[in-house]
């Protein structure tokens, strides 16, 4: 009886050893999805939230509409200031033109009187007066050009201010960055949206990802672009296909959420697989494992 029991035990151990030799590492992890937090870039009251929790959104769909009426009024005020400035620039441009003409006339008059001075027809005092007028005309032209330059700089400043207002008005309509599903909603119409505060979170649930970690000795079991069977705990024995889309080129310590201390101090390589989830049966955080064969 004892001899039969020992033989049975040896046989079981042998079978287990053979099975272990043929089995792959079968790394496990939890399902992930690309997620983006939707946050306002300006402080404004929320007028509309057009997508509710669980609703799908297409890239470019309007998610949130903010109240930008105050910004629009500030823009109108800046546009009025720019119109006034344009009128001032027109006056300054005329002043520059007139100063140039006056300088040209005074220089021509001074040049004509140089020969008359040599002939004695014009006195030195008269010639000095003409030269003084020429110098005054130069100063007036320089002053007019400086004033026009100041107005040009002011116009550039106003243009920049108007561009800021235009951008803030654009920020008042928040669009979906990609096709996805709203997985978090933190705001309601009527509330104030503050810069950096998350109002919605959108995720690509139709394309799930599974990140697992392999030791250097097991890394040879996977190849970039190849597909492998994936078992998700929530689906029982049903097998899905996961395609390897990324293999880390740099080793790292096993993440801290690994259960044993010995495993945490091992150097491993991260591997990411993509799983199709058109039927949305998979959810973020579901445990899953990859079936690898030696």
Residues 114 and 161 in one domain: yes
Rounded-to-integer distance, Cα 246 and Cα 287, Å = 19
Rounded-to-integer distance, Cα 255 and Cα 239, Å = 26
Q: Is residue 47 part of a domain?
A: yes
Give me the CATH number covering residue 267.
2.40.30.170
User: What does the DSSP assignment read for 196-232?
Assistant: T-EEEEEE-TTEEEEEEEE-TTTGGG--TT-EEEEEE
Check pLDDT > 60 for residue 254: yes
pLDDT of the residue at 21: 43
Residues 162 and 86 in one domain: yes
More confident residue, 256 or 241: 241
* CB-CB contact of 131 with 162 (8 Å): no
pLDDT of the residue at 253: 83
Least confident among 37-46, 178-187, 250-259: 250-259
Residues 251 and 121 in one domain: no
Q: Is residue 158 part of a domain?
A: yes
Give me the CATH number covering residue 92.
1.10.287
Give me the CATH number covering residue 53.
2.40.50.100
**Predicted confidence band at 17 (pLDDT cuts at 50, 70, 90)?**
very low
Residues 48 and 80 in one domain: no
Provide the number of structural domains found in the chain. Answer: 3
Domain limits for position 189: 38-68+173-202
Residues 47 and 93 in one domain: no
**Predicted confidence band at 204 (pLDDT cuts at 50, 70, 90)?**
very high
Query: What sign has the CA pseudo-torsion 237, 240, 241, 243?
Result: negative
Closest residue by Cα to residue 86 from 156, 146, 165, 164: 156
Q: Is residue 121 part of a domain?
A: yes
Residue 27: count other Cβ atoms within 10 Å of its Cβ: 21
């Amino acid at each position: 009886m004892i001899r039969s029991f020992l033989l049975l035990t040896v046989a079981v151990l042998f079978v287990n050893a053979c099975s272990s030799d043929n089995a792959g590492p079968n790394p496990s992890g939890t399902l992930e999805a690309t997620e983006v937090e939707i946050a306002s870039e300006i402080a404004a009251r929320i007028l509309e939230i057009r997508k509710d929790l669980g609703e799908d959104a297409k890239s470019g769909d309007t998610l949130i509409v903010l109240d930008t009426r105050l910004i629009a009024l500030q823009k109108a005020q800046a546009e009025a200031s720019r119109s006034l400035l344009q009128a001032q620039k027109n006056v300054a441009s005329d002043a520059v033109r007139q100063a140039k003409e006056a300088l040209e006339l005074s220089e021509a008059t001074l040049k004509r009187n140089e020969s008359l001075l040599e002939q004695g027809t014009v006195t030195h005092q008269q010639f000095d007066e003409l030269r003084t007028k020429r110098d005054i005309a130069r100063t007036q032209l320089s002053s007019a050009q400086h004033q026009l330059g100041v107005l040009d700089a002011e116009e550039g400043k106003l243009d920049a201010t108007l561009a800021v207002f235009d951008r803030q008005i654009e920020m008042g309509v928040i669009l979906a960055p990609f096709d996805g599903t709203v997985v978090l909603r933190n705001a309601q119409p009527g509330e104030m949206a503050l810069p950096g505060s998350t109002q919605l979170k959108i995720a690509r649930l139709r394309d799930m990802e599974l990140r697992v970690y392999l030791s250097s000795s097991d890394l040879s079991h996977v190849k970039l672009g190849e597909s492998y069977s994936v078992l998700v705990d929530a689906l029982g024995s049903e097998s899905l296909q996961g395609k390897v889309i990324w293999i880390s080129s740099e080793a790292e310590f096993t993440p801290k959420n690994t259960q044993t201390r010995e495993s945490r101090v091992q150097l491993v390589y991260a591997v990411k697989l993509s799983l199709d989830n058109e039927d949305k049966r998979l959810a973020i955080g579901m445990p899953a494992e990859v079936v690898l064969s030696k």
